[in-house]
Structure 1
């Protein structure tokens, strides 16, 4: 399924924190690391790497949760939903939890990271699987492939 027309919006479970994505995501991912399992209460977390300039909080004030140091996991202070993550140092993108989108049915991860920590039954259907994270030299090709695939999927 193709990503809907921009902008797309989402928010936490209670709706107090809302965000808008106005630029195409760079990459769609699932992370199986034990930290993501514990923070999401699930087998993995989902995320879209969204260019910083194409992401805005439009309602509410998220608070830092999770480990509080690095990275900065942003949560709703009321319902405690993990909404997005800002990396430090900033890398030009925000990792938005795909499940926080108003409609996430189109989301499908291209890559999964930390497959080395995956629960044995937890599959995502991602095309690429990495024991930890992809190497820095692999990201440009992965981003190009994801963006090309999104633009070639019929509406």
Structure 2
């Protein structure tokens, strides 16, 4: 997989669930919230926001895990890898866990969120940091800046 060409593929640790990404990412991020800390067993989660129409599960059937609320966290039913999230009220994108991509080596978070809950020693190279989530009015500018700085992979 090459960051500069689509499609990308990925899957869970055991290979029981696979997916394909056919649209360029909207944004990359690290989330420091305590929920992500607990679900990853780490200091933060890493994700790539993909337009919903550019994401498809190609093998297996992921199950909903996490808190089972309106925001749906999808896991492999066998190895329980947290693979992607469909945030409540934001059906236009899917947050794919960056480390579930077959080749996540290109990944770098552009923004980091929930720094108000981060572990004191946890740092990322993100360009923008937010104590919680960015204000809604900031997203248009963030998406544009990400496209300019990160470039767009070719389909």
Q: Give the TM interval when normalised to the shorter protein.
A: over 0.9
C-alpha displacement of 1:148: 1.3
Equivalent in the alignment of 1:123: 123
SS in 2 for 1:147: helix
The two structures, once aligned, show a CA RMSD in angstroms of: 1.4
SS in 2 for 1:143: helix
Structure 1 stretches of 4+ with a deviation exceeding 3 A read none
1:89-114 Cα distance to aligned partner (Å, 9 max, x none) = 34300000001000101000110000
Q: Would the aligned equivalents of 1:3 and 1:150 in 2 still touch at CA under 8 Å?
A: no
CA distance in 2, matches of 1:150, 1:89: 26
C-alpha displacement of 1:152: 7.7
Equivalent in the alignment of 1:13: 13
Equivalent in the alignment of 1:54: 54
CA distance in 2, matches of 1:5, 1:24: 9
Instruction: Give the structure-2-normalised TM-score.
Output: 0.94
SS in 1 for 2:116: helix
Count of aligned pairs between the two proteins: 152
1:30-79 Cα distance to aligned partner (Å, 9 max, x none) = 00000000001110000011000000000010000000012100000000
CA distance in 1, matches of 2:144, 2:90: 21
SS in 1 for 2:137: coil
